[in-house]
Amino acid sequence: MEKLIAFSNRTEGRDKFTKAIQYGAKIISWALMYNNKQYHKRFNELYILSRDSRKVFKLFKTIQETKNIIDKIKDLLWKEDKIPVILDILSRLGFMLYWVFDNLVILHRFKLIQNENVNSFSYTSHLGWLIGIFWQLLKNVYELIRILMNEDYIVEDSLGNHVKRDRREEIKNHLINVVGNLGDILPASSGINLPEKIFGYKFSDGVNGLGGLISAIVQIRELWNRC
């Protein structure tokens, strides 16, 4: 019970729980599109409500992301293996682009700003999201290869000390994170019409919803384990 309370009190925990509701509602709305128009509309409204409510609480995410990037740049000064740090910085820069333009989209949606280029804002935000996920995936793959090539998995903690980690547990965690990132790629790539450009057709709301829900579950698991 204490762990549940600690999880629910975390801002990230509430965000990821709402994300699960958002994409779960998207899947159900898609499934009911032809069979039940009334509930299709209701679940679509739930999707929009949960989507926009998440965006409101991310209006100052750019500031937090700036701090993350500065902290990662500082890590470059003492980390022996700099490749994961560089990949992390590139990922955070992508997410910063995402937050900036996503904030502009939500401000326009709430009529706080007026701009005819709102579609380009949405496109750029999804592009930043996709860039962030891409570098994050590369980091996960790099870490996986590094673990598989070394029987004793040694990492550096925040003090520069070398610490041995549970190899199997680390492999499992990285694989799960890869699955979560692949899930996010579906709605992110759809936001810039990438599937249509590559495959000639769009991903359905069901596919995008499933990808987002998988990502939300992975992120909830990670936050839960931290509590």
Q: Per residue in 107-150, pLDDT tens? A: 888 777 877 777 888 999 999 999 999 999 999 999 888 888 87
- Lowest mean pLDDT, pick from 18-27, 43-52, 75-84, 86-95: 75-84
Helices and strands per DSSP (H, E), number in the chain: 9, 2
pLDDT at 7: 47
Query: What CA–CA distance (Å, rounded) separates 44 from 205?
Result: 10
Residue 122, domain member (yes or no): yes
Contacts of 77 (CB under 8 A, 6+ apart): none
pLDDT for 147-184, tens place per residue? 888 766 655 555 555 556 667 888 888 899 999 999 99
Q: What percent of the chain has pLDDT over 90?
A: 53
Residue 182, domain member (yes or no): no
pLDDT at 10: 64
DSSP alpha helices (H): ranges in 79-204?
Answer: 83-109, 118-149, 167-190, 194-199
Residue 101, domain member (yes or no): yes
pLDDT for 58-110, tens place per residue? 777 788 888 889 989 998 888 888 899 999 999 999 999 999 999 888 888 87
Residue 32, domain member (yes or no): no
Print the domain residue range for 85: 59-137
For residue 163, the cross-strand partners are: 155
Residue 69, domain member (yes or no): yes
pLDDT at 26: 97
Residue 184, domain member (yes or no): no
Q: Find the mean pLDDT for residues 200-219.
A: 95
Number of domains in the chain: 1
Residue 67, domain member (yes or no): yes
Residue 177, domain member (yes or no): no
